[in-house]
Amino acid sequence: MSTAPAAPDDAALIAHFLERGDEGSFRLLYRRHSPAVFGLLCRLNGGREADAADLLQEAWIRAAASLRGFGGRARFRTWLCGIALNCHREWHRARGRETSLDTESLGDLGARPAPRAVSPQGGQITQVLQALPPPFLEVLVLHDVEGYTHEEIAEALGIEPGTSKSRLARGRRLFRERWRGPDTGGER
């Protein structure tokens, strides 16, 4: 009984690409990690696949340009997600949708009801998520949807694990407040 050879790990693929210019290694990294990063970007931008595809390409361009600086302290996907998150933030800011993080605006956010969607519940969840300030949305999606640990989130976002934990708690609270809304009696 023969077994197929094990696929090379990310470190070996990166080394082959950097040392030998092996495009096949880079393509394998791309195929291995793009679906997860694309999914993350779709969730962060409300399911707009065309925008997520553009952001994914930008993330890979930046990753290829800075791959020599990847020190292997984090998993490659965590590092790549950090780049993708930076691309998403820049895209978000360029469209004037960045939310201020001052405490006054955060207090207002919890008081406003989320807009009601006429679509199925999944669409309502997406709408409520998209109304969250980006720092809370990012941590909520990375932790609760993608399954990243607080340490991995901290590495990807360049924050402390404690900051990740507090943003997650705040994001969950804001989501619950917006999901319930003032006129629903706590039920949807």
**How do residues 92-107 score in pLDDT, each as one tens digit?**
888 764 443 333 333 3
- Kindly state the tokens that stand for 24: 């096949």
Q: How confident is the model at residue 65 (pLDDT cuts 50, 70, 90)?
A: very high
CA distance 108 to 178: 12
pLDDT for 113 equals 33
Question: Phi and psi of 82, rounded to 5°?
Answer: -60, -45
Q: What is the sign, positive or negative, of the torsion defined by CA atoms of 16, 18, 21, 27?
A: positive
* Domains of the chain by start residue, with CATH: 10-94 (1.10.1740.10), 103-180 (1.10.10.10)
